[in-house]
Amino acid sequence: MAFNNVYQGKKVLVTGNTGFKGSWLSTWLLMLGAEVYGYSKDIPTNPSMFEATGLSGKVRHHFGDIRDKEEMDKYVQSVRPDFIFHLAAQAIVSTSYQEPFDTITTNVVGTASVLEAIRNITWNCTCVLITSDKAYDNVEWIWGYRETDAVGGKDVYSGSKGAAELTIKCYWKSFVRLMPNIKLGVARAGNVIGGGDWAKDRIIVDCVKAFSNNEVVEIRSPKATRPWQHVLEPLSGYLTLGQYLYEDKVENGEPFNFGPCAEQAKTVFQLVQDLAELWELDKNEAAKLTGNVPFKEATLLKLNCDKAQAYLDWHSTLHYEECVHFIADWYKAFYGKNKVDMYALTITQIENYVKAAEAQQLKWAE
Ligand SMILES: NC(=O)c1ccc[n+]([C@@H]2O[C@H](COP(=O)([O-])OP(=O)(O)OC[C@H]3O[C@@H](n4cnc5c(N)ncnc54)[C@H](O)[C@@H]3O)[C@@H](O)[C@H]2O)c1
């Protein structure tokens, strides 16, 4: 059943539904029996998860700019969703260096425009707004960041996510908390990997593009260590947060971190080698180093997820090895000689993920 069946028959609006996470979330919601509505500016990549899984024929989709407050409001009023998951964003760090103004307006003004639409909602609606682990002011300490730590950001993408958090907080305190019909939560996650991502400057994407063309992948920061997590991990967190808010099981208006356990932290180099092996390549020949580091990346940022564990009974499910297997299986099917139904494969991966969570007695998976 999963998530106590709260999404069955509900109207769920996903902003950013054509993106990597939005496409996985839409697929999962369809499996849960929801009527899925989407609002996105474009299909951000080619290929894309959205097209590979044929989602355009399965969800009701509207092309619009999240910054257009009137259009957003009109769409929300016409759909009258029971749930809103806000994921639309300029999500690429390197792009934020080329298009800083666009990044700020999309991520900050775009979030304000969603909040403006929420203010005009007169029916019961549960809203989960997605920001990022990068919303935290990264002071490069060794400890995991907690929800009470300061938001900030030294680069434009991080700053835009920190500013989105401040925007949500002031709208919450000034307006939304006074609306008895609205439940709202904020979700922070990062270093998300999985099949179906084709965004630029992401290591998995660089690998599968190179491997599928019999090329060597170039890596910039082999020693950079990241707490990698499969896309289904934060999505199970977002869906649990939505469920618990809807059922009044968790405090309204609060942020939550969703991250992997400490053993998931691996270097970029190790991840590339493991993926190469699963692609049946010589792992020592699969990658070459490049000195080209085009922008400054924060060195370390991990999340403390005690709050999600305590209040949402949530923790991550997959071990690192399982996570890499899921990814290799998805892309090998996509790039393989035989045509594979990528929607069916995505559903199978979600089912396997739910089974793994059930085996760990995670409440959301019951
Ligand atoms: N992928 C990650 O590793 C990661 C990590 C942390 C946080 N996030 C956050 O999760 C969310 C989804 O990320 P993703 O990786 O799926 O991103 P993505 O780039 O794959 O998709 C972005 C989506 O937002 C839409 N969009 C962009 N600008 C828009 C605009 N002006 N108006 C309307 N729609 C617009 C795109 O059309 C697309 O549907 C974002 O908020 C992102 O910042 C992602």
For residue 85, pLDDT beyond 90: yes
250 domain residue, yes or no: yes
329 domain residue, yes or no: yes
CATH of the domain at 187: 3.40.50.720
> Region 309-315: what's the mean pLDDT?
98
> Region 36-63: what's the mean pLDDT?
97
Confidence (pLDDT) at 261: 81
With the most atoms of ligand 1 within 8 angstroms of its CB, the residue from 13, 28, 40 to mutate is 40
Choice among 125-129, 155-159, 200-204, 275-279 with the minimum mean pLDDT: 200-204
186 domain residue, yes or no: yes
Q: 338 alpha carbon to ligand 1 midpoint, in Å?
A: 30
The domain tally of the chain equals 1
Structural domain including 308 reads: 3-267+300-365
Question: What's the predicted TM-score (pTM) here?
Answer: 0.97
The residues lining ligand 1, judged by C-beta closer than 6 Å to any ligand atom, are 16-22, 40-42, 44, 65-67, 87-91, 106, 110, 130, 132, 189-190, 192, 199
Confidence (pLDDT) at 222: 84
Confidence (pLDDT) at 201: 85
- b/e for 86-110, b at 16 or more Cβ within 10 A? bbbbbbbbebbeeebeebbbbbbbb
147 domain residue, yes or no: yes
Average confidence score pLDDT of the chain: 94
278 domain residue, yes or no: no
Q: 240 alpha carbon to ligand 1 midpoint, in Å?
A: 20
233 domain residue, yes or no: yes
Confidence (pLDDT) at 99: 98
For residue 16, pLDDT beyond 80: yes
For residue 297, pLDDT beyond 70: no
Q: 320 alpha carbon to ligand 1 midpoint, in Å?
A: 24
Match 């020592």 to its residue by tokens: 284
For ligand 1, atom 7, the nearest C-alpha belongs to 132
Cβ atoms within 10 Å, residue 196: 27
For ligand 1, atom 11, the nearest C-alpha belongs to 87
CA distance 20 to 25: 9
For residue 82, pLDDT beyond 90: yes
With the most atoms of ligand 1 within 8 angstroms of its CB, the residue from 48, 86, 132 to mutate is 132
With the most atoms of ligand 1 within 8 angstroms of its CB, the residue from 55, 192, 202, 258 to mutate is 192
Confidence (pLDDT) at 294: 54
Task: Give the amino acid at 168.
Answer: I
Dihedral-angle region of residue 140 (phi above 0 means left; psi in -120 to 50 means alpha; beta otherwise): left
For residue 298, pLDDT beyond 70: no
In the chain, pLDDT over 90 holds for what percent of residues?
85
CA distance 113 to 80: 16
Choice among 30-44, 253-267, 328-342 with the minimum mean pLDDT: 253-267
For ligand 1, atom 3, the nearest C-alpha belongs to 192
For residue 292, pLDDT beyond 80: no
Confidence (pLDDT) at 105: 98
For ligand 1, atom 39, the nearest C-alpha belongs to 16
For residue 35, pLDDT beyond 60: yes
SS3 string, the chain, reads CCHHHCCCCCEEEEECCCCHHHHHHHHHHHHCCCEEEEEECCCCCCCCHHHHCCHHHCCEEEECCCCCHHHHHHHHHHHCCCEEEECCCCCCHHHHHHCHHHHHHHHHHHHHHHHHHHHCCCCCEEEEEECCHHHECCCCCCCCECCCCCECCCCHHHHHHHHHHHHHHHHHHHCHHHCCCEEEEEEECCCEECCCCCCCCCHHHHHHHHHHCCCCEEECCCCCEEECEECHHHHHHHHHHHHHHHCCCCCCCEEEECCCCHHHEEEHHHHHHHHHHHCCCCCCCCEEECCCCCCCCCCCCCECCHHHHHHHCCCCCCCHHHHHHHHHHHHHHHHCCCCCCHHHHHHHHHHHHHHHHHHCCCHHHC
Cβ atoms within 10 Å, residue 141: 11
Burial of 291 (0-12, 13-18, 19+ CB in 10 A): exposed
Atom of ligand 1 at shortest distance to CA of 133? 6
For residue 302, pLDDT beyond 60: yes
Q: CA neighbours within 13 Å on the CB side: how many for 136?
A: 25
CA distance 272 to 263: 17
Q: 284 alpha carbon to ligand 1 midpoint, in Å?
A: 33
Confidence (pLDDT) at 221: 82
For residue 291, pLDDT beyond 70: no
Q: 280 alpha carbon to ligand 1 midpoint, in Å?
A: 31
Residues 195-236 pLDDT 10s: 999 999 889 999 999 999 999 998 888 888 888 999 999 999
281 domain residue, yes or no: no
> Region 7-12: what's the mean pLDDT?
98
71 domain residue, yes or no: yes
Checking DSSP bridges between strand 265-267 and strand 225-227, what pairing results, if any? antiparallel
Query: Residue 183: beta bridge partners?
Result: 126
With the most atoms of ligand 1 within 8 angstroms of its CB, the residue from 13, 14, 15, 21 to mutate is 21
For ligand 1, atom 21, the nearest C-alpha belongs to 19
